[in-house]
Structure 1
Amino acid sequence: MTDRDREAQSFDLLHPVVQHHVVNSLGWPGLRPLQTASIVPVLRGDDALLVAPTAGGKTEAAMLPLLTRMANDEWQGVSVLYVCPLKALLNNLEPRLATYAGWLGREASVRHGDTAAGVRRRQATARPSVLLTTPESLEAMLVSTLLDAPHMFGDLRAVVVDEVHAFAGDDRGWHLLAVLERLGTLVGRPLQRIGLSATVGNPDALLEWLQGRERSRPRTVIAPPTASSTAPELALDHVGNVGNAAKVVNGIHLGEKRLVFADSRRTVEGLAVALRGLETQTYVSHSSLSVDERRRAETAFAEARDCVIVSTSTLELGIDVGDLDRVVQLGAPNTVASVLQRLGRTGRRPGSTRNLTFLATEDDELLRAAGLLLLLDEGFVEPVVAPPEPLHVAAQQLLGSALQKGRISLAEESSWICGLGLADEVRVAEICEWLVETAHLDTDQGLAFIGPRAEARYGRRNFMDLLAVFTAAPEVVVVHGRREVGSVDPMLLVAKVTGPRVIALAGRPWLVTHIDWRRRRAYVEPSDRTGRSRWTGEPRAYSLELSDAVRRVLLGATPVGAELTTRAMNRLGSLREQYRHRVAPDASVVTEDDGRVRWWTFAGAGANAVLTAALDAVAPDLLDQGTFGNLNITLRSDATAVAVGSAVRRARAEFGSDLVGVTPPVSEQALAKLKFAELLPPHLALGTLSARSTDRRGAALVAGRPVAGG
């Protein structure tokens, strides 16, 4: 049987109405390989992971067979949930899914924090067949006193999780699994789970994780090869600063639509201001802009030509901004997966090529970009690994279940929490005891319910702060007239300035005319002066693989799949000479530079945390305040390679070759950033953070190498 025969055979399994509209309404000559391969397993009811690059047709691959099941089996009510990590992505998808559902006389509707009360009431009475939502809104519906959750979800059959790799990599993934577990218990049946993902290094493990406790169900990874007739166009340039980057972006690919990624909101704003200063039509998108501001920018960009949109990773996911000609990366992300996501934004039109140009403004950006390109050459993509020790999510779920049910059996709730992997039996018992002891839960006749401490801490706004496992830094809302522009770090509004206070937001300068600190609002007017931006951010940890790739670049390895400009090659040559005494092929190196002694491990911050703690345990006199970064550990001025090597050998002898007995300390500042830390006994909260800030595999690898002197 030929591929065309198989495609026709699979296509014939779709509902006749779906077939008709694919051909006549969408005008498709045929289905893509992923869409064809998905039909049988999805119709069969398998849990599935559909893997393809951005714009690879994943949504249709899931929804066309699900709509077929919906029609054939006469599913009623809310039968399909479509879960996304971003409200903007939900808004972007709603018209498309509403069209597909409409073919069968069904409805698709979105529900999240911005959904109007009237729409919510209509959804409760005239339930849409497909409900698009976020994990936070899903749990809010489960615990709401205004919604009959058993009625709303009683007919649910399947859940589609878009961008599942983005969920699985942080605590929102654990939160989603827990909410789906509670939802399955509510409806009394296992739910078919379908994940949509970009390329990942461990698809089988990712799908197994998505199944939660139902790992005995049939599962299928669907990832047909994405053969491309042409290799992507990759380039790396060293431009020195944001102003030069603006000139390059402005000067190249004129007449084309360019999407520029930058990995901080401050850099996005700085580049946008510089581009507008060069009279380039420029739009801006990042998380601190208001919903309306982002939507206006993304819509205008989608409809324009010869323009630029500058964005953080918010546009890395599948939000549609129209056909793109070029993608530019200012600086570099931290993962190959992000490079592939951003690369996949281009090359969608027939005859066009996927492309990505890196513009490095600093040396570490140049080395990081070169390291990522080297890993891309080698076919490496990071595995998606759920954060270890999600004990705080276990505690949050106990309170969430109490909100949902009124009174709960701690033994029954603990059972599914352990089965899901949020905590083991010993620690979930400790958590339950702590929640009761601290009055977050009260008990009566063997059942637990929300206690006065939880009521006081989370009860405002209907416990909404309890339903999100991520924290958002406090920001001041910026308002022009009646229009909300976005928000900024409060420190930007209290820092000393000479003359008028001018800020940059949405790529434009604004004069601050008044600040209402009680309401946390700053009122502004347009300005022609230069503005400043500021937001809080966390240092970014490199993986072992990226850190080692940087080391290999410094040793002379050069990416072959990318074009390096003369400026990039010249700067790389200078850096290789500068780092010559800091790198070695088969050893870590201790060197002295400008009076500072450093141990160059090239292992990443997680591994260096373990190595620093190991030194502190056996030879604390070697350390200089225990500071470390991604590439090195700072030592005292009299430390030597011989002393470090000896200390490492003692640490391996005492703690084992994998250094499993070493526990890096956790600061109070770090603990304050763990949401729901107060719901855990202090030693469990510290244990969670410690497990998440360490890379024992990387530490063991470095510890097993010789230590050389530079």
Structure 2
Amino acid sequence: MSLDLDPVVVHHLVNSLGWRDLRPMQRAAIAPVRGGADVLLLAPTAGGKTEAALFPLLTRMTEQRWTGTSVLYLAPLKALLNNLQPRVEQYAGWLGRRAACWHGDISAAQRRAVLYERPDILLTTPESLESMLVSEKVDHQGFFAGLRAVVVDEVHAFAGDDRGWHLLAVLERLARVAGRPLQRIGLSATVGNPGQLLSWLQGSGGGRRPAEVVAPDLVTAADGPPPGDIELDYVGSLANAATVIAGLHRGEKRLVFCESRQTVEELGQLLRSKGVTTFLSHASLSIDERRRAEQAFSEARDCAIVSTSTLELGIDVGDLDRVIQIDAPATVASFLQRIGRAGRRVGSSRNCLFLALDGAALTEAAALLLLWSRGWVEPVVAPPEPRHIVAQQLLALCLQEHQVGDKLWVQAWNELPPFGEEAEPILRYLVEHGYLDHDGGMLFIGPAAEARFGRRHFMDLTAVFSGPPEFTVLLGRTELGRVDPSLLTEEVRGDRRLLLGGRSWRVTYIDWRRRRCFVEATDGGGRARWSGTGWAYQGFALTRAVREVLLGADPPVRLTRRAIERLAREREEKLHLVHPGGTLIVREKGGDLRWWTWAGIRANATLTATLGDVVDPMERFDDHSIRLRDNVTSAEWRQKTADASVRLCLPEVSEKALDGLKFSAALPKQLAAATLSARLADPKAAVSVLSESVRFVVT
């Protein structure tokens, strides 16, 4: 094997791993990674991206004699890091190097060992890095002095939300600590805008550092539908879905994805009642419960694991035979991750069986598969105007450095927008309201920050998101997971029963002060519920694809007879709401006048805010339509919308909505509201809708 890698690495590729050669993507990655460029490696799930990044980095580490912790390997999930650790340790060990994990589940003794030994590769999360930077127990100047490169696994999972902004800001601060730019290597499944994603990952180095997208296996629309054995079925209920899953593919290992934790619990219980060996995985199960399920699943054969998106990313669950999807995931990118879990074994193929529970879900699944068949994937775009993350970073910097010069703070992020001089109004607010103190030309943590974020050594300041308050469920001393408090407060007759881990539990005692709930096993009757589960808004492209399906387009996959019949019924029922040449304004049976835009929630929110003169004051809109005033005429419509595309307005948000924006308390209300408004808007899609012809169908 002729490779431009360290001879020891090549030796072990052949003799330890038994590889005859590298994959095309792994070969193509060697030169740019070894050359120090910022790189985005694109490949399907299980495409060898970790090796493509680490083998050239280990070669550089040896050649250039890097010392101390020189490489960070970041991932969005602790479980993914735990899963990767043995592999990374093996590869590092070939060259006498060491790797270690650092995250919230690592014990105090393990952390002390990491600080003392300073492993060459540290596997961690951005939140744990933030904790290290602000901790009194970590000499961050000494620990990160040798840092050279950062690998960001599943980079698309960061870039699409505020964790991405937090990641970029922390990397800029680390570069200042290390005293050098850091090479950035992103690993991702297929995305719709790889060049833009790489530029985003480069942060302040964008346009100044060499950069390369490595994607030799990338499938484009010109290549035709991606490979995969896909079937779309309509089953009508979760009980029917359980019957189908129990009856099909006996003796095989099945991974079933659901769109909410509640559905995972209910389906898990149904499958077990049918004698299927079933494991569950979702964010509210305890770590031990999830690990037991993942371990048992990786070793078992005739079984099913039912999961939310927690198993969508690259956690190894062994060789899968089947992937099953209940209803439809929110994005094509998510579907690509999920179908990529199957077909890894020689002789097997990537496959997915969709089981739709109702007509709307069936139509959405068909629309998603229509986009997938065209090679279309959502672009990954960072949410705009992250002012609350700027506030968090200003506070975190003062914790890290204890005090910061009031003219020097802008240097911490190497002029990365929006953490530069444009953050001045946020800084002033923090000082004026006591979150920061200002004395003698220095900034430091103030009493308001201590009061609001200082609990448990400012732990709440290191995480960008806060989940809703949940109660821990305990069987004796064993933690089973967490449940929504409403299950413990609503009135019930008889025993209060919970459904968790696919099993029913009777509540025996509730410790309200400590948010703990003690249970014992019982037969059936348990209920599951979590806040905010089971719904995802559709974007413009997916909603338009739904319209295409209703107009008669079928995805090039197998449709069962039940799916064909239910799709026909959906099309017949909604035929009067869709038109290929534009949008429709329709008077419904109840008298409501609705504008059927088929544009997605964000575009419709933008249109609603812009067309206040004709929109119903109750502002009732959804993914597909907007409710208008019931007396709007065709002439008035033309007059009021004539110049709408040049006077677009951002959606208004309520003060209550600000509670969902973490650190919004550290912002002026108008700036926090402006952030949410920008994120609720889709001006481009709104202009596209306004450019289309509108038909009045009013009887």
Please tell me the TM-score bracket, short chain as reference: over 0.9
1:46-445 aligned within 5 A = 46-215=37-206, 216-225=208-217, 231-415=227-411, 417=413, 419-422=415-418, 425-426=421-422, 428-445=423-440
CA deviation digits over 1:337-393, x for unaligned, max 9?
A: 011111111111111110011111022211110110110111111110000001111
- The reply to whether residue 663 of structure 1 matches residue 650 of structure 2 is yes
- The reply to whether residue 466 of structure 1 matches residue 498 of structure 2 is no
Contact map agreement 2:550 2:578 (CA 8 A) in 1: yes
- Whole-Å Cα distance in 2 between the matches of residues 369 and 497 of structure 1? 37
Alpha-carbon distance change, 333 to 699 in structure 1, aligned in 2, over 3 angstroms? same
User: Which residue of structure 2 lines up, in the alignment, with residue 3 of structure 1?
Assistant: none
CA deviation digits over 1:474-526, x for unaligned, max 9?
A: 10001111110000110011122222111111111111111111110111111
- Whole-Å Cα distance in 1 between the matches of residues 251 and 683 of structure 2? 50
2:537 is aligned, of 541, 566, 571, to: 541
User: Which residue of structure 2 lines up, in the alignment, with residue 609 of structure 1?
Assistant: 605
Contact map agreement 1:502 1:512 (CA 8 A) in 2: yes
SS across alignment from 2:230: strand
SS across alignment from 2:404: coil
1:575 CA drift (Å): 0.8
SS across alignment from 1:145: coil
SS across alignment from 2:564: helix
- Whole-Å Cα distance in 1 between the matches of residues 156 and 226 of structure 2? 27
1:594 CA drift (Å): 3.3
User: Which residue of structure 2 lines up, in the alignment, with residue 706 of structure 1?
Assistant: 693
- Whole-Å Cα distance in 2 between the matches of residues 593 and 569 of structure 1? 27
CA deviation digits over 1:75-105, x for unaligned, max 9?
A: 1110110000000001111111111111111
Alpha-carbon distance change, 186 to 223 in structure 1, aligned in 2, over 3 angstroms? same
Root-mean-square deviation (CA, aligned residues, Å) is 1.5
The letter for the 2-side match of 1:88 is: A
Using structure 2 for the length normalisation, give the TM-score: 0.97
- The reply to whether residue 631 of structure 1 matches residue 624 of structure 2 is yes
2:476 is aligned, of 470, 476, 481, to: 481
- The reply to whether residue 579 of structure 1 matches residue 566 of structure 2 is no
1:415 CA drift (Å): 4.9
The range that moved more, 56-65 or 592-601, is 592-601
1:508-657 aligned within 5 A = 508-537=503-532, 539-560=535-556, 562-595=557-590, 596-616=592-612, 618-619=613-614, 622-640=615-633, 643-652=636-645, 656=646
- Whole-Å Cα distance in 2 between the matches of residues 131 and 549 of structure 1? 43
Alpha-carbon distance change, 501 to 644 in structure 1, aligned in 2, over 3 angstroms? farther
1:310 CA drift (Å): 0.3
Percent identity over paired residues:
56
1:597 CA drift (Å): 2.5
Using structure 1 for the length normalisation, give the TM-score: 0.95
1:581 CA drift (Å): 0.7
- The reply to whether residue 503 of structure 1 matches residue 508 of structure 2 is no
Contact map agreement 2:327 2:365 (CA 8 A) in 1: yes
Contact map agreement 2:297 2:303 (CA 8 A) in 1: yes
User: Which residue of structure 2 lines up, in the alignment, with residue 451 of structure 1?
Assistant: 446
- Whole-Å Cα distance in 1 between the matches of residues 80 and 463 of structure 2? 18
1:74 CA drift (Å): 1.4
- The reply to whether residue 19 of structure 1 matches residue 10 of structure 2 is yes
SS across alignment from 2:565: helix
The letter for the 2-side match of 1:89 is: L
- Whole-Å Cα distance in 2 between the matches of residues 141 and 177 of structure 1? 16
1:648 CA drift (Å): 2.1
- Whole-Å Cα distance in 2 between the matches of residues 278 and 597 of structure 1? 47
Contact map agreement 1:606 1:693 (CA 8 A) in 2: yes
Contact map agreement 1:154 1:187 (CA 8 A) in 2: yes
- Whole-Å Cα distance in 1 between the matches of residues 421 and 138 of structure 2? 33
Contact map agreement 1:51 1:196 (CA 8 A) in 2: yes
- Whole-Å Cα distance in 2 between the matches of residues 673 and 473 of structure 1? 10
- Whole-Å Cα distance in 1 between the matches of residues 218 and 202 of structure 2? 26
CA deviation digits over 1:630-654, x for unaligned, max 9?
A: 11112344445554444322534xx
The letter for the 2-side match of 1:321 is: V
The letter for the 2-side match of 1:532 is: R
Contact map agreement 1:257 1:325 (CA 8 A) in 2: yes
The range that moved more, 409-418 or 204-213, is 409-418
Aligned residues: 690
The range that moved more, 431-440 or 699-708, is 699-708
The letter for the 2-side match of 1:707 is: V
1:37 CA drift (Å): 0.8
CA deviation digits over 1:249-298, x for unaligned, max 9?
A: 11111111000000100011111011011110000000000000000001
SS across alignment from 2:620: strand
The letter for the 2-side match of 1:201 is: G
1:413 CA drift (Å): 2.2
SS across alignment from 1:603: coil
Contact map agreement 2:226 2:373 (CA 8 A) in 1: no
- Whole-Å Cα distance in 1 between the matches of residues 643 and 71 of structure 2? 57
- Whole-Å Cα distance in 1 between the matches of residues 242 and 116 of structure 2? 52
Contact map agreement 1:590 1:640 (CA 8 A) in 2: no
SS across alignment from 1:288: coil
1:414 CA drift (Å): 2.9
Contact map agreement 1:266 1:535 (CA 8 A) in 2: yes
- Whole-Å Cα distance in 1 between the matches of residues 54 and 111 of structure 2? 23
1:680 is aligned, of 649, 667, 670, to: 667
Contact map agreement 2:172 2:413 (CA 8 A) in 1: no
SS across alignment from 1:234: strand
Contact map agreement 1:489 1:535 (CA 8 A) in 2: yes
- Whole-Å Cα distance in 1 between the matches of residues 660 and 406 of structure 2? 27
